[in-house]
Amino acid sequence: MADDFDVIVVGSGITGGWAAKEFSEKGFKTLVLERGRHIDHQGDQYKDMLMPWEKHNRSLMAEAYNEDGNYRDVQEMGYIYRDDLKHFFVDEVEHPYTTPDNKPAMWIRGYQLGGRSLTWGRQTYRWSEKDFQANAKDGHGIPWPIGYEDIAPWYDYVEKFTGISGNRDNLEILPDGEFLKPWNMSCAEEFVSENLKKNRPDRPMIIGRCAHLTAPQDVHTDLGRGQCQARNHCMRGCSFGAYFCSLSSTLPAARRTENVTIVTDAIVASVDHDDTTGKASGVTVIDYHTKRQHKYKARIVFLCAGSLASVQIMLNSKSATHSNGIANSSGMLGHYITDHFGRSGANGIVPGFEDRYSFGRRPNGMYVPNFRHEKTDDVDFVRGYGYQGHAAYRPRKGNTAHSAGIGAAAKEQVGQAEPWRIGFGMFGEMLPYYDNQVSLNAVKKDKWGMPLLHIDVHGRENERKMMTQAAHDAEEILLAGGCVDVVKTLPEDNEPIQAGRLIHEMGGACMGADPKRAVLNKWNQAHDVPNLFVTNGACMSSCATQNPSLTYMALTARAAHHASKLMKSGQL
Q: HSE, CB side, 13 Å, CA atoms: give it for residue 85.
A: 24
CA distance 134 to 146: 12
For the segment 495-524, the average pLDDT, to the nearest whole number, is 94
Burial classification of residue 553, based on how many CB atoms lie within 10 Å of its CB (0-12 exposed, 13-18 middle, 19 or more buried): buried
H/E segment holding residue 441? strand 437-445
Indicate the residue type of 88: F
Over 50: is that where the pLDDT of 133 sits? yes
List, for residues 382-394, the tens digit of each pLDDT value.
Answer: 999 999 998 899 8
Sign (positive or negative) of CA dihedral 538, 502, 176, 470: negative
Sign (positive or negative) of CA dihedral 47, 53, 57, 58: positive
List, for residues 36-45, the tens digit of each pLDDT value.
Answer: 999 999 999 9
Residue-level pLDDT at 27: 98
Q: What is the mean pLDDT of the chain?
A: 92
Residue-level pLDDT at 67: 56
Residue-level pLDDT at 140: 97
Residue-level pLDDT at 71: 45
3-class DSSP string for 93-127:
CCCCCECCCCCCECCCCCCECCHHHHCCCCECCCC
List, for residues 442-464, the tens digit of each pLDDT value.
Answer: 999 999 999 999 999 999 999 99
C-alpha distance across the termini of the chain, in Å: 24
Over 90: is that where the pLDDT of 498 sits? no
CA distance 188 to 200: 17
Residue-level pLDDT at 366: 96
Asked if 535 contacts 554 with a C-beta cutoff of 8 angstroms, the reply is no
C-alpha distance from residue 29 to each of 1, 167, 257, 448, 557 (Å)? 12, 39, 10, 29, 17
Indicate the residue type of 550: L
Compare 84 and 556 and report the one with higher pLDDT. 556
Highest-scoring range by mean pLDDT, 53-67, 68-82, 92-106, 389-403: 92-106
Residue-level pLDDT at 531: 98
| Choices 2.60.40.1180, 3.40.50.10320, 2.30.30.100, 3.50.50.60: CATH for 1-119+146-155+259-332+435-454+506-572 | 3.50.50.60
Over 80: is that where the pLDDT of 3 sits? yes
List, for residues 165-176, the tens digit of each pLDDT value.
Answer: 999 999 999 999
The confidence band for 416, taking pLDDT boundaries of 50, 70 and 90, is confident
List, for residues 90-125, the tens digit of each pLDDT value.
Answer: 888 889 999 998 888 889 999 999 999 999 999 999
User: Which one-letter DSSP state was computed for residue 185?
Assistant: P
Over 80: is that where the pLDDT of 69 sits? no
Residue-level pLDDT at 440: 98
Residue-level pLDDT at 75: 46
The ranges assigned to domains in the chain are 1-119+146-155+259-332+435-454+506-572
Q: What percent of the chain has pLDDT over 90?
A: 79
Residue-level pLDDT at 403: 63
Q: Is 385 helix (H, G, I), strand (E, B) or coil?
A: strand
Nearest CA among 162, 155, 116 for reference residue 14: 116
Helix 549-568 and helix 14-25, axial crossing angle in degrees, nearest 10: 30
Phi-psi region of 431 (alpha: psi -120 to 50; beta: other; left: phi over 0): beta
Nearest CA among 470, 466, 459, 440 for reference residue 500: 459
Q: What is the dihedral of CA 236, 242, 244, 248, to 10 degrees?
A: 80
List, for residues 5-47, the tens digit of each pLDDT value.
Answer: 999 999 999 999 999 999 999 999 999 999 999 999 999 999 8
The confidence band for 60, taking pLDDT boundaries of 50, 70 and 90, is low
Residue-level pLDDT at 312: 98
Phi-psi region of 324 (alpha: psi -120 to 50; beta: other; left: phi over 0): alpha
CA distance 213 to 74: 30
